[in-house]
Amino acid sequence: MKLPILFGIHCHQPVDNFSNIVDEIIQKSYLPFAQIASRYKNFKFAIHYSGWLFEYIKNKNPQLFSLFKKLLDQGQIEIFTGGYYEPILSAIPKRDRILQIKKLNSFIYENFGVSPKGLWLTERVWDPSIIPDVVECGIEYLVVDDYHFISMGFHKDNLYGYFISEQDGLAIKIFPIDQTLRYFIPFKELNEIDQYLKEIIHKGGKGAILFDDGEKFGVWPKTYEWVYEKGWLEKFLDLFTSSKDFQFMHYYDFVEKNPPMGLAYLPLTSYYEMGEWSLFADKFIEMERLSSFLKKTEFQNIYKTYLKGAHWKNFFIKYPESNHIHKRLLAISKKAYTLNDPLLNEYLFKGECNDVLWHGIFGGIYLPNLRDNTFKYIIKAEKRITALEGDEKIKISDLLFDGYGCCTLRNRNLATLWTIKHGGQLKSLDLLESEINLCNTLSRRWEGYHDTLLRSKEESTEATTGITTIHEMNITLSEEVKNKIAFDWYDRNSFVDHIVENYTPEEIAYTRYKEIGDFTNQPFELIPKDDQIIFERKGGIYLDKMYKTNLKKSFSLKDKGISFEIEINSSFTKNLYYILEFNFHFFNYNKLKVNGKKVGDILSNKNNLFIIDAGDTMLEINLDKKTEAIVYLVNTAHQSEQGVDFTTQGVCVALPFKFRKELTVSGFIKVM
């Protein structure tokens, strides 16, 4: 009896990703894989392509789309479904996930004439509450990681098959993906893979289960040369399609020929690495160090049962920018449920694409273009709701689920979102005509991997064969680069209030000044008044003691701008500086000019600032007082599949005003 190999590839690109990037991935990964696979009739495998990517390939690369049909006609592929725009199913409402799955089911049936029985679970984020919904969509089985089972105490040697789980009396079959195979294919030499598969036979396993990213075959670092130019894939298929020990098998055939391994109830979890990534930075470091220690002890084979990271939704706490996006989508979803408008549904579903909401090895929330694409559909959806329901100029709600509430202020040109909990600040500045959020920025946060990047690291001396996976890359930075990495302790919104005794431009740019007020990230009281909103905080300045200080900010919208007035009254009687901070998002930072000068120059004695982005977007700040302007780019150093990426997240404009006891600053921000 040959051991069945259940082989699957999952392929996805973020909605509206750059066409040149998607085209390159098709040429380097999806197309050559399909071309080589089509020459091996005994290579039976599963494919999952997210709906947006399927649609893109159908319209832009008919050669590859025809290959899919050829592979199906040859009986080589089984097509898995999922959410059409690749949402995390447990992170979106019931209605949305059912409609997204059914949308991809319909696309598959209309184009390939088959109804999928298997479902790819986005990022393998498991929540048993989704079982009734996927069953309603005609799904019989799905795949998760073997870690899901191991974390519940299952033995790895007993995971070479499928299990039954249920929710509300509705059953689903669950296949555990073998993590060892995920790390071996396509990175290891064939003899190592062959040896491991034979070990499964010796353990009495019913099948070897692999379902992983298709981009590993050509797009991940060094894989194009390894998989195609050096012939790894052809050698792999030559060996295993003609083996006397193994046979490739479809998931539906395996289910028909094999009974389940038993019953299983799995926890809210994803794969092991995702649990690490979703931890707060200090806990990530602790988990890394603890796991490194345990790997050298008698617990090396069992520690993953007891050592767990955070739940995927912890990303909404870890990144306020992610929570902002997610909660606006939830609010749109509520409206979509009652309005039942097809166009609104489409905008919502595209916005629910998962990539922008988290960060691990891939850029995710750190990529401005992904955030731009999501905000585009959020703004489109909110405009559609306004068209269907009418306008509401001021709206106060607990949109962000922080218990403090926030305020939406809008007119026919702009929609603004203001946070109460964190400083009475502008969190979103949406240009309704161009569908851009000019406050789409990101704070420079300390990540767990910065601990490794910013300290010296010895090179690994362990012998290895094949090539390295992105989970195992060893990255070092020069001291010059390390010194340019900075971190923020507050959110990069606009109308951020700082009070300091003194400062230098460098201290401002690297957040190395001493904050002496309690206004930057603390709650304000919101007072709506006609078409105006007022934020006020009775706070303090902290030096030798606490000096009572009151800060009030008033805002209103006029045409394409925001009118503002800021008042400070303090019991402290000596000179201090109030720094008013703005953070804006543009598209071409290389060509960004402020009053005709490049970013980084100090602009002295100014009460008018003109920020222009290569002629596309222009923003003007008018003040009633002259001051110097400290303008700098907010750059992050974040992990990616290529190693470390340095990305500009926004431009900061810091305006210092000297004051004693009291200060009033008024002005107008205009978008052109």
Q: Please tell me the total number of residues recorded for the chain in this structure.
A: 672
Q: Tell me the C-alpha to C-alpha distance, in Å, between residue 300 and each of 146, 278, 471.
A: 17, 23, 18
Distance CA 237, CA 241 (A): 5
C-alpha–C-alpha distance, residues 140 and 134, integer Å: 8
CB atoms within 10 A of CB 87: 25
Q: Locate 661 and state its tokens.
A: 């006891």
CB atoms within 10 A of CB 476: 15
Rounded to whole angstroms, how far apart are CA atoms 85 and 87? 6
Residues facing residue 563 across a β-bridge:
556, 668
CA neighbor of 350 nearest in space, from 4, 669, 51, 38: 51
**Angle separating helix axes 62-73 and 94-112, nearest 10 degrees:** 80
213 part of the active site: yes
Could you give the CA distance from residue 90 to residue 79 in angstroms, rounded to a whole number? 22
- Kindly write down the DSSP assignment for every residue of 223-269, as one continuous string: HHIIIIIS-HHHHHHHHHHS-SSEEE--HHHHHHHS----B----SB
Please answer whether residues 211 and 9 qualify as being in contact, where contact means their C-beta atoms are separated by less than 8 angstroms: yes
Which tokens sit at 202? 């010796």
Give me Rg for the CA atoms of the chain. Answer: 27
Closest CA to 358 of 247, 278, 299: 278
Report whether the peptide linkage leading into residue 186 is cis, meaning its omega lies within 30 degrees of zero: yes
**What tokens does 232 get?**
């790894």
Tokens of 95: 């209605």
123 catalytic per annotation = yes
Q: Name the active-site residue from 166, 194, 213, 628.
A: 213
Q: Which residues have C-beta within 8 Å of that of residue 167, sequence separation ≥ 6?
A: 128, 129, 131, 132
DSSP result, 599-639 = BTBEEEEEEEEEEEETTTEEEEEEEEEEEEEEEEEEEEEEE
Q: Which two tokens stand for residue 255?
A: 């289910």
User: Please, what's the largest Cα pairwise distance for the chain?
Assistant: 88
Q: How far is CA 415 from CA 151, 361, 436, 561, 641, in A?
A: 45, 33, 10, 10, 35
Q: Which of 16, 78, 86, 123 is catalytic?
A: 123
| Residues catalogued as catalytic | 123, 213
